[in-house]
Amino acid sequence: MDKLVIKGGKKLFGDIKVSGSKNSTLPILAATLLTDDKCVIRNVPKLRDTLTMIKLLRSLGKTVEYNNHTAIISGAANSSTAEYKLVSTMRGSFCVMGPLLSKFRHAKVSLPGGCVIGIRPVDLHIKGFKALGAAIEVEAGYVIAKARQLKGNLIYLGGIFGPSVLATGNVMMAASLALGETIIESAACEPEVEELSEFLIKMGAHIEGKGTTRLVVRGVKRLHGADYTIGPDRIEAGTFVLMAAATQSTLTIRNIKYAQLLVLVDRLEEAGVRFKKGKDSLTVIGPKKLKPVSVTTYPYPGFPTDLQAQFMALMAITPGVSVINDKVFPDRFIHIAELNRMGANIRRDSGVAVVEGVKTLFGAPVMASDLRASAALVLAGLVAKGKTEIHRIYHLERGYEDLEQKLKKVGAVIYREKE
The catalytic site residues sit at 115
Nearest to 97 by CA among 87, 140, 210, 88: 87
Burial 285-295 (b: 16+ CB within 10 A, else e): ebeeebebbbb
CB 307 within 8 A of CB 335: no
Q: How large is the angle between the packed helices 123-131 and 97-104, nearest 10 degrees?
A: 20
Maximum CA pair distance of the chain? Answer: 64
Cα separations (Å) of 6 from 26, 236, 373, 391? 30, 19, 16, 12
Q: What length is written for the chain?
A: 419
DSSP state of 236: H
d(CA 140, CA 142): 6
d(CA 91, CA 110): 10
Nearest to 368 by CA among 353, 355, 378: 378
One-letter amino acid at 191 equals P
CB 19 within 8 A of CB 401: yes
DSSP state of 11: P
Nearest to 377 by CA among 410, 336, 346, 409: 336
In 10 A of CB 417, how many CB atoms?
9
